[in-house]
Amino acid sequence: MRPRVFLRLASILTLLFGVGHTLGYPWVGVATPALLSRLAEIRAMPQMTQGFARSYWDFHVGFGLYISLMFLALAVLFWRVGSLSTTEPRLARTVAAVFGALFVADIVLNLLYFFWAPIVFAAAIAACLAAAALLPGDEPRVQRISIAGADRR
């Protein structure tokens, strides 16, 4: 398969990963009464941080939503780089390699701090990006133009 296919697949997987992440809000697992009580305590203890009263809960929700936005941006980027892979294959391979390395690091973080769903998604995306980075791409498309009846490249 061509790198474009793997980049498009990475885009779709990243979008699904982001949707799944967002649907997991408030990212606390099973909300038992004891857990909800502890979360209420965390919300009720804001600290001044650079002139703003923020609690750990604010950081938790803010970073969670930020990650959702990043997944959306990455999905769009991977789709566009897939289109770019036919005209600029070296650039597309470089972008795929950089983000492939990011998702390999993401696998490690997920193994240390999270659970199976993000581990599997990060591994699938990393594999797609590695394939896009390592597979030979198409030759760049060259547009032919005609000047006074003579074809030139």
CA 2 remoteness from chain centre: 20
For the chain, percent of residues with pLDDT exceeding 90 = 73
Given pLDDT bands bounded at 50, 70 and 90, which one contains residue 26?
confident
- What ranges do the domains of the chain cover? 3-25+65-141
Task: Give me the pLDDT at residue 136, please.
Answer: 83
pTM of model > 0.85:
no
